[in-house]
Structure 1
């Protein structure tokens, strides 16, 4: 008959040097020179713990207490292994053992008392009491704070505020567990900087350098040599102040000062513009009333004198005076119009051009078409640029009237922001560009176009009419 209920062959390699077998809740335990062995009695799944993780000495015996903790006697004391927490704890002479080497046998009695016997002595203890004494939760304290290498008073209950010059912080903390302090472990986390806890070693000390201004929360924790965490997590809130030039009130102050300065400059500019407009109005009015009336008087008086004068030579002189006076009156009217600030818009300029051109076209019986878009209604132009543009267009219209001998003419204005395009064309006799372009009128048009930053293009051929196109950018 088969004595064993399940085959055991698969485990035999691990048991070549195994000693002592214990049973606890469907698990068997044993140990060899290299491993602590644990296997399920139903599935026979084997788990091993390398002895090197527990001790560098030999294991002499093993026992299980009522809580399932493994107790091992070794050449350097007793070792207990908590299977739930998966942690080891060593006991030596410093913990009260009678000898350094525990060479003998461990046994757990029915009442839970652990017995250890050797040739020299018998040791008895209650595992629960021993473990309770070592599993006492330790307290934790912040022991030191240095800022720029200067010791600071520590008060965890309040927020600490440091100047913008605080650039070096050293924190030291400790757990009150002195059984094996060199094996205590410490951790920290600076909220907003660290996503996870960072290991601070076995001394509980961390240094921060060149932290940016702002609010910080430092969390500190620790655990003793048995892996038992301290009774709480320390929280230290502190603030590094912004330099005054980065503070909200300073930014608002600068913004307010800039607003006052810009408003002052704006008011100065508005007042300056108003003063210029008042001056232009005054000059325009004076030119119109004083010089305009004087020229008008000269024209009228010369006409009256011409009517009465019989001498031919004197008549010619008076005729010249009258014509010059009329010409000056026209030019004065243009000057008065250009100076008047009410005429600063392009719309006003093209209304004047339309009025000027219409009178001449109708006087010459020329069929004409003038197109002015509404998109230029509120576009402003400086007095000087407006005068340049007006005189270019006026010269082009005068040339058309004087030389083209046309029957049809057209003026078209187009505005596609920021480009303004103006064309004046006729179906007249045209002219040779190479032959006639040296005229003063065309040269003046070119100079004024350059002053405007405009592109002036004149196209003409004999008997094919003339087209003047002006393109400029409106700022």
Structure 2
């Protein structure tokens, strides 16, 4: 019995000694690391190929068992004294080794393994990237808005200058022509009816051109970008023209309070000129006693209805003289939906649906 116990003790001695120095070398990316008892093995973030070389089992063949706690879910068995790991993430691990010989297990050796975290593995990396992207996006939006604002200022400056030039130069020249024509009419008198006719034509054309220039100046001037000013100008013009012809006029503004809708310069100009032409047609050709302009809100934008109870016209007849083509051309140019309804003896209704910003 004593001999059996003694031989068993001699068989366990190599296992105990091996447990104290189970790992004799560590290689990281073909670089040899020093293994010091009681100290952790430190690996760099780029050490993506790590090999643990184990002390061989002397004597009879056995099985090597190892586990990298934090990476392996269970013990790994191998007949070879080597353990290899690739692509370890930054963390704190514990490499454990034990041996199995003739059904017996040696004591477990544990070696701490510290793997440096990569930059992308740090907790602050994702928030930093998100913050950086948001910063870039915010800067891009800021500079875009700043550029847009400066462009709008440039456009407004150009519009002011054009309006001033039209008023001071073209308007003054046309007014001078009209005044000179009146003086020429007085001097010629009734002695030259042919010359008087020519002067009347010049006078009429110059006055109409002056009114057209004034409307253009009004549309270009940035101070008149408000919808309230547009509708007030429509109301004032229609009232002035229609009441002098004995036509009862009603202007109904049905937009909700604090409506914040805008039209661009081209829309305001074309819409006003279309309404102006419609009012002139009512005054000159419709033989109406009542007329109205109704401004209301629609899903697509603003709806304007200009109607009268005049004699109307036949929509199927050749209406070239009525200026319908001119109306449709203006509507198409500023993307306005135009509808004209007219019945002989029942009047005419023109509806403008203006998309707004």
TM-score, normalised via structure 1 length: 0.59
Structure with a larger share of its residues in helix: 2
| In structure 2, distance between residues paired with 1:271 and 1:178 | 85
Query: 2:68 maps to what in 1?
Result: 188
Preserved contact between residue 188 and residue 200 of structure 1 (Cα < 8 Å): no
| In structure 1, distance between residues paired with 2:200 and 2:65 | 117
Query: 1:402 maps to what in 2?
Result: 284
Query: 2:113 maps to what in 1?
Result: 235
Larger Rg: 1
How many residue pairs were aligned? 341
Query: 1:336 maps to what in 2?
Result: 217
Query: 1:291 maps to what in 2?
Result: 170
Identify the match of residue 425 of structure 1 among 302, 307, 312.
307
| In structure 2, distance between residues paired with 1:181 and 1:348 | 102
Q: How does 1:429-444 map to 2 (within 5 A)?
A: 429-439=311-321, 441-444=323-326
Shift of 1:331: 0.2
3-state DSSP of counterpart to 1:431: coil
Query: 1:390 maps to what in 2?
Result: 272
Query: 1:279 maps to what in 2?
Result: 158
Query: 2:77 maps to what in 1?
Result: 201
| In structure 2, distance between residues paired with 1:127 and 1:315 | 147
TM-score, normalised via structure 2 length: 0.75
Identify the match of residue 197 of structure 2 among 296, 316, 337.
316
Q: How does 1:5-404 map to 2 (within 5 A)?
A: 115=1, 123=3, 125=5, 138-139=19-20, 141=23, 143-147=25-29, 150-151=30-31, 153=33, 157=40, 160-162=43-45, 168-172=48-52, 174=54, 182-190=62-70, 197-202=73-78, 203-208=81-86, 215-225=90-100, 226-227=104-105, 230-232=108-110, 234-242=112-120, 263=142, 266-307=145-186, 309-311=189-191, 312-364=193-245, 365-371=247-253, 373=255, 378-404=260-286
Shift of 1:462: 1.7
3-state DSSP of counterpart to 1:232: strand
Report the RMSD for the aligned CA atoms in angstroms. Answer: 4.1
Structure with a larger share of its residues in strand: 1
Shift of 1:416: 5.0
Q: Please give the per-residue CA displacement for 1:202-259, whole angstroms capped at 9, x wherever unaligned.
A: 24523335x7xx744444323331345624363332233459xx99888877876776
Preserved contact between residue 453 and residue 472 of structure 1 (Cα < 8 Å): yes
Question: Which structure 1 residue ranges, 5 or more long, are not aligned?
Answer: 1-114, 116-121
3-state DSSP of counterpart to 2:320: coil
3-state DSSP of counterpart to 2:50: strand
Shift of 1:265: 5.3
3-state DSSP of counterpart to 1:447: helix
Preserved contact between residue 423 and residue 470 of structure 1 (Cα < 8 Å): yes
